[in-house]
């Protein structure tokens, strides 16, 4: 769903969405990389000259797989949305091309052709909230079955390498020194 920047009044623009809203469900499924089981939220946009301040609340739950044990989990992201968009005035990037960002652009999103795609806003917000790894022991993850052991992938503890045993005999005992 696209919103034209010029159509946003001084009072702003607001839109609510839920799981039955096709553009929001599709955007959430893409960002969460799984089937969405719950979705609700509100996006508010205020225009300050050509800049767009996007705020709101988003809650989404999606099916994922634990990166540690491979079990089925539900990942929930719930919280405020705060993003700022500015028009892409420095020109389009050709397909496969790159453009160097200046430091003032690193915390801003760009919108083009005078319109802001709300599905991309939702995808960006969710992508920024995703954990680096989805594991059963995260606070916003609910395992379908029993949660996996955080030590599952750690190697077993062993004593010293037996190849060094000959050197251990050369080390004087602390009790012998007294």
| Residues paired with residue 143 on neighbouring β-strands, in sequence order | 73
Question: Are 110 and 85 a contacting pair, CB within 8 Å?
Answer: yes
Residue 111 vs residues 50, 52, 126, 148: alpha-carbon distances, Å: 10, 9, 18, 42
Note the pTM of the prediction, 2 decimals: 0.74
Ordered per-residue pLDDT tens for the chain, 178 residues: 888 888 888 789 999 999 999 999 999 999 999 999 999 999 999 998 888 999 999 999 999 999 888 889 999 999 999 999 988 766 555 566 676 767 766 678 888 888 899 999 999 999 999 999 998 889 999 888 776 766 665 677 777 778 888 887 787 775 555 5
């Amino acid at each position: 769903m696209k919103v034209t920047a010029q159509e946003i009044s001084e009072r702003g623009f607001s839109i609510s969405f839920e799981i039955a809203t096709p553009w929001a469900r599709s955007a959430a499924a893409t960002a969460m990389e799984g089937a969405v089981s719950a979705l609700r939220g509100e996006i508010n946009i205020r225009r300050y000259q050509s800049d767009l301040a996007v705020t709101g609340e988003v809650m989404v739950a999606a099916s994922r797989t634990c990166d540690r044990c491979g079990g089925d989990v539900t990942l929930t992201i719930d919280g405020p949305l705060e993003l700022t968009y500015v028009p892409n005035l420095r020109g389009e990037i050709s397909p496969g091309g790159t453009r160097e960002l200046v430091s003032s652009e690193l915390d801003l999103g760009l919108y083009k052709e005078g319109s802001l795609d709300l599905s991309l806003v939702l995808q960006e917000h969710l992508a920024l909230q995703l954990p680096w790894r989805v594991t059963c022991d995260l606070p916003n993850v609910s395992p379908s079955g029993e949660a996996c052991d955080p030590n599952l992938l750690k190697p077993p503890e062993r004593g010293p390498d037996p190849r060094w045993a000959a050197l251990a005999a050369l080390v004087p005992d602390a009790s012998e020194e007294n």
